[in-house]
Structure 1
Amino acid sequence: MGQTRKIPTRTCTGCRETKNKKDLIRVVRDKDGNVFVDSTGKQNGRGAYICPNVECLQKVIKNKGLERTLKISGISLEVIEQLKKQIGDINE
């Protein structure tokens, strides 16, 4: 008998829904305090997850969900632009 593997789930910081880890975009804060979008999902550091849709991104920006989850004081515009680009690429 083969064992079935458990699919990891994570909670979106925007809509607060639990979804498969592979379906979400990961944003990471490494030990040096650098914040970046993790396309592999395997980088070391504290991670926050967001659904690949514009509504969740707007919620995260409005309620400062990424800042709270990553325990930082502010998100750079560069990271927000990377998220917008990645969400746009996925939805096209």
Structure 2
Amino acid sequence: MPTSIITTDDLLEFKLELLDDIKNLLVKQSKGKLKKYLKSSEIMDLLQISPGTLQNLRINGTLPYTKIGGIIFYEAEEIQSVMTANRMHHMINS
């Protein structure tokens, strides 16, 4: 089996490539483009809600969804829009 020698230049190059990959992931995440569709379990984790609450939000039309086969998908942008549209602003009287 041939032996490979790893130099400090190789490690530096690897480090720079890894940092670029991490940076690209962070940029995608900050733009909200990391994942377009989310499954029910991801929505429950994201919103910290139970399966029953998620089902109620689907039934009453609060959360739009797509069902393909037996899997329910939610579009991340639509979930964000629902959250923004239902934001409550409380005024404090002085």
TM-score in terms of structure 1 length: 0.25
Structure showing the higher strand proportion among its residues: 1
Greater Rg by CA: 2
Structure showing the higher helix proportion among its residues: 2
